[in-house]
Chains A and B, each alone.
Chain A
């Protein structure tokens, strides 16, 4: 059909969307991209703000921010960038809240608020991956430096592709511990590899 000619090529990846939006400024493109993540962004806002209405406002406010920021900044990994932006926005929001509260009522203790958390830009998952093959040889050495539990959990998780639940039933570890074994093991492994690499 000749009508097909009117159809524009649709961007597919996040990077395509970002590039297309930068070139045209078409809000619909940015909207489609944002829609992919909106549920997640909303959930993240819920985690930090703990308030339904505030979270909804934050989601829309973040979109307004994206309209400007996406054109302003060079964005290589939209997902990571979006997460950092979202998290920082929520933390700033909480800080403002706390400042306002403290100004009005100094005596109220609010130590438990997550506003203590620093503003961070998380490293991209991809930046950890390159020259992995070179490091594979060192991996075995590093694995040996880990504690028994961490090593078992990690190898079951990554090499045997077992889920947390599987690992629990296989090893008899405490379910809550397994997660921290893997998280800590991952971190230790990375530190060890970085050290060897230098």
Chain B
């Protein structure tokens, strides 16, 4: 079957609806009927159209909603609808403007008096114009003075200029050296536009898309702005957005079970970030049950039982399996089975100390029981009035 035939041999939902509504010509009707016979897809779809009508379901609305969902699922689709030349033209315009600005601000540094004069104009208009325009050719200084007077600037700047005038105006320096004498901060203030171009460019916000190598979006991946406490996570479609990021800031993108990736915010604009699966990193996941996490750091819902006494780290099952895995049967002496009951103090930081044997099994077994608890993970200290406090507790170590 060649392409044109294939194209002829397809029906749309509109064809089916118009067929049902009797809006087709005889030839079109025949085509629809023929295809209905050949493709059960169409036959079933027609049944579906009937069903929707029976139940009063609006298919248009459904289809629209589905299209939207699909585009969300794919990501970035609406952007692609723009004609290609549009972003390209925008980029060209930006480039041209950028070049113009650069050229304008670059000129006074390298050229002579007239350019300097022209450059001082924005200085007078800028909000920071209180500072004196420094030593310069006396002739020019007068111009500046008259202009400040015209602009009705606060008089405070005038004495400054005058005093400077007397002190510094005598040696007539060529404009090049004048500029090089200026403090760097002054120079930046003189040309605010230049600062924006040459120094760090603040981006409004960055948007990215995190997915696996296979192209599946990763929901809940962590994006951290390095050297800051800011960060975010991806939504269910793998997209994220960070506000007020500089182009040369680094982002660290991580997800459990995947290799973390560092990327510059600038490079992000190229598109999606792919994470590769890390088989080794999966072992990290196991440990977390023993640690304690501040409630504010835990995003899942956590049932908090206010403990009036210290509790074992992790769940009871976790701790039992820790004991099972690490228990050593003492080699010396007869083999014993039974329970060692210990009473000990759990410090504010969760470390157990001050052990007492309540029920003893054997000297070596008692020692082993203490070792197990002492060297094991930290306990959860008792909480009183929201603060961890030291407290006594008891625990049975079983030697099966």
Contacts and interface: CB of A to CB of B under 8 A. Distances in A.
A34 B88 CA distance: 29
Contact of A60 (B3, B37, B52, B73): B73
Contacts of A182: 37
A1 B67 CA distance: 32
Interface string A100-126: 000000000000000000000010011
A133 B386 CA distance: 88
Interface stretch (B74-82, B239-247, B330-338): B74-82
A46 B51 contact: yes
Most B Cβ at <10 Å: residue of A12, A35, A46: A46
Given A47-B47, A163-B29, A79 B41 contact: yes
Given A39-B13, A163-B26, A46 B48 contact: yes
Given A3-B88, A47-B45, A161 B63 contact: no
Contact of A50 (B16, B33, B42, B55): B55
Nearest to B83: A3
The contact size tier of chain B is: 35 or more
B41 A60 contact: no
Most A Cβ at <10 Å: residue of B1, B45, B55, B63: B45
B70 A186 contact: no
A87 interface: yes
A40 to B, nearest CB: 4
Interface string B57-94: 10100110111011101111100100011001000000
B201 interface: no
A25 B27 contact: no
Interface in A29-80: 30-31, 34-36, 38-40, 42-48, 50, 52, 55-56, 59-60, 63, 67, 79-80
Contact of A46 (B29, B57, B85): B57
B52 A43 contact: yes
Most B Cβ at <10 Å: residue of A13, A44, A56, A79: A44
A25 B152 CA distance: 67
A171 interface: no
B74 A28 contact: yes
Most B Cβ at <10 Å: residue of A44, A56, A60, A163: A163
A10 B57 CA distance: 35
The main secondary structure of chain A at its interface with chain B is: helix
A183 interface: yes
B10 A43 contact: no
B42 A40 contact: yes
A158 to B, nearest CB: 8
A123 B318 CA distance: 55
B166 interface: no
B276 to A, nearest CB: 14
A162 interface: yes
B67 A50 contact: no
B153 interface: no
Contacts of A162: 26, 30
B130 to A, nearest CB: 49
Given A35-B70, A44-B48, A182-B37, A163 B12 contact: no
B80 A26 contact: no
Nearest to A39: B13
Contacts of B37: 182-183, 186
Interface string B18-54: 0000000011011001100111111011111101100
Contact of A7 (B30, B74, B77, B84): B84
A28 B33 contact: no
Interface string B107-121: 000000000000000
Nearest to B52: A46
B150 interface: no
Contacts of A42: 48, 59, 62-63, 66
6 contacts: A7-B84, A35-B67, A40-B12, A43-B16, A46-B59, A83-B44
Interface of B: 1, 3, 6, 9-13, 16, 26-27, 29-30, 33-34, 37-42, 44-49, 51-52, 55, 57, 59, 62-63, 65-67, 69-71, 73-77, 80, 84-85, 88, 214-216
Given A40-B42, A42-B59, 8 more contacts: A27-B75, A34-B70, A42-B62, A47-B45, A52-B62, A55-B62, A125-B39, A162-B26
Interface of A: 1, 3-4, 6-7, 12-14, 25-28, 30-31, 34-36, 38-40, 42-48, 50, 52, 55-56, 59-60, 63, 67, 79-80, 82-83, 86-87, 122, 125-126, 129, 157-158, 161-166, 182-183, 186
